[in-house]
Structure 1
């Protein structure tokens, strides 16, 4: 079949492009022709300040001037390099298949990532509306911080319900999203794993060996982990255990920041002594790489706590970095983690195979 994927393929982070590439790769391995559908995202639910970050033009000058003052030239230069790195990866691995409103292929697959979230914009086509293709499914769609109550508050219940009812099969990657689909549309969505776990990246994580050993890897958005009260606990732990600290994928001026391709990032995580993260995909990558992690819970608990609970890793979470050492020193039973991966992967692959068969 000719399959168009609708997801946030242009986001400036490694997790987003890895999940997109993983889903495309799995579908290609099943013999399908795959590409990504272009769209202009809505900024209706985003503040003007945030929108200026994404909409390059006169309105963004002030944003980036303020950004440079706050973040410093080091952060700017790092992100220019990172943009080139991710652009090169997309050119090689994220093929485009035209605009979503013009796509007339066999199937549109919506997901993964926060395609259902209202907080990052109201985009009806990401729920299955406005598409010309005969068949539509979602794979591991996520509402992120959006709950059913927020759907009702914003008056989007009918729009979302209408779109979901157009789908041949609906799957999500967390409990909140499953509950929100049920309450909004009366549909029993299937719970599946993120595409990064589905594909696994076994070969890619071993294709790159970092030029150093004995290090803690930081994977955290550059807006976070800048408070001395947080990172001093990491530095103290590293010094105690004679470990270096590197941030890969994001710039943090308090440690060595490394620009790496998405596949190289997997190698960095695979060979790390410890991962410190506060992100969903940082946790996902540590899981598939079997690297112990300390996970700081912030405003993304809807999806992050559920992810860790699926793989028996809730004891790796912290609410405050003063707890870091007690969590970092615990061992991880990766035999149990890998058994959970295999179970979730098999169930998710069955959903995908059944959904694809129903669209032929």
Structure 2
């Protein structure tokens, strides 16, 4: 049994961040290891008072999920020295998953997520780390390379990430599944299945044209359009703000159709065998979506041009989940094997 600590994005109001941490820690505990999480929070932009008030409910929901389903956190760490002190008695430290190597998100804390605070004796692994972009956005190539050479094993979530490691840092990296896809069942979370007759629309970036097409699709399919976790009322949609983590999962699991630009919303649509369509989101961050869909043989579920949403008739086509599951089993075994073998290295 090993003592393992995970460094990832924590205490953020984000469904994917919480669920990927839940999944990775569960897999590690299933292997018989003890797991804790570094209590390090990224510095974020200040939010206006109305914004903070609007987030109170969400913050409470995520807090409840962490308390019930996530491993114990270390003491709060705000500096590299405090993080180093928190590594006491650790056999391995794992960074990932999520966009932990996206310098546009980590900014001045960029190298913390390459373990610049770890004593040399502590072994380190990257699991499904993501650069968030096909290009490296970092600030100091030599420092980053020096830190990466200390890793026992490196894996990334996208092929573009493996290419960055090879071309920028002259290091090999395995491509593995996002942790959420390592788990076959989320029964522990008690997400009930029931009939809703809903089209779930979960999108980070608002777009009036897309919203109009979503409503047209819902009308054609005789479904109720639901704006999931929307930060404002959308005309013609059922408004479902501030869902809990389990409420968010339940909406996806019971949807007749899911339309999203979110990687993790797509991932759970796949796990729950729901019909879905994925649209582009932030800039070029959709490479992770295309990579996974291609591996699963359903790359046609991604629409590079959102204007084609209605005319593509993709919402009228089904997904052969028998083939998807067969591909997923192979990828899952490969990813878990990477973790198991990496944790055996001395």
Give the TM bin, normalised by the shorter chain: 0.7 to 0.9
Structure 1 unaligned blocks of 5 or more: 44-50, 54-59, 69-74
Instruction: Give the structure-1-normalised TM-score.
Output: 0.84
Comparing 195-204 with 334-343, greater Cα deviation is found at 195-204
| Aligned: 1:238 with 2:194 | no
Higher share of residues assigned helix = 1
The equivalent residue for 2:209 is 229
Q: 1:292/1:252 Cα in 2 relative to 1: closer, same or farther (>3 Å)?
A: farther
Cα distance in 2 for partners of 1:216, 1:146 equals: 31
Q: Distance in 2 between matches of 1:239 and 1:201?
A: 33
Structure 1 equivalent of residue 242 of structure 2? 259
Task: Measure the CA separation in 1 of the matches of 2:54 and 2:193.
Answer: 22
In structure 1, the residue matched to 2:127 is: 139
- Corresponding position of 2:257: 274
Alpha-carbon displacement from aligned partner over 1:182-206 (angstroms, at most 9, x marks no partner): 1222111011100000123442476
Task: Tell me how far 1:302 sits from its aligned partner.
Answer: 2.3
Matches within 5 A, 1:100-111: 100-102=83-85, 103-104=87-88, 105-111=90-96
CA-atom RMSD in angstroms: 2.1
Counterparts in 2 of 1:186 and 1:320: CA distance versus 1, 3 Å: closer
More displaced stretch, 125-134 vs 136-145: 125-134
* Structure 1 residues 249-272: Cα deviation after superposition (integer angstroms, max 9, x where no partner): 443411221433223322221211
If the length of structure 2 is used for normalisation, what is the TM-score? 0.88
Shift of 1:346: 0.3
Task: Flag structure 2 segments of 5+ consecutive residues without an equivalent.
Answer: 78-82
Say which SS state the counterpart of residue 36 (structure 1) adopts. Answer: strand
**1:293 & 1:205 partners in 2: Cα distance?**
22
Judged with a 3 Å threshold, the aligned counterparts in structure 2 of structure 1 residues 203 and 305 are, in CA distance, closer, same or farther, namely same
The question of whether the paired residues in 2 share the 8 Å contact of 1:24 and 1:34 is answered with yes
Match of 1:352 in 2: 339
- Match in the other structure for 1:46: none
Question: Aligned pair 1:85/2:69, yes or no?
Answer: no
Which residues of 2 match residues 164-243 of structure 1 at below 5 A?
A: 164-204=148-188, 207-209=191-193, 213-221=196-204, 224-225=205-206, 227-243=207-223
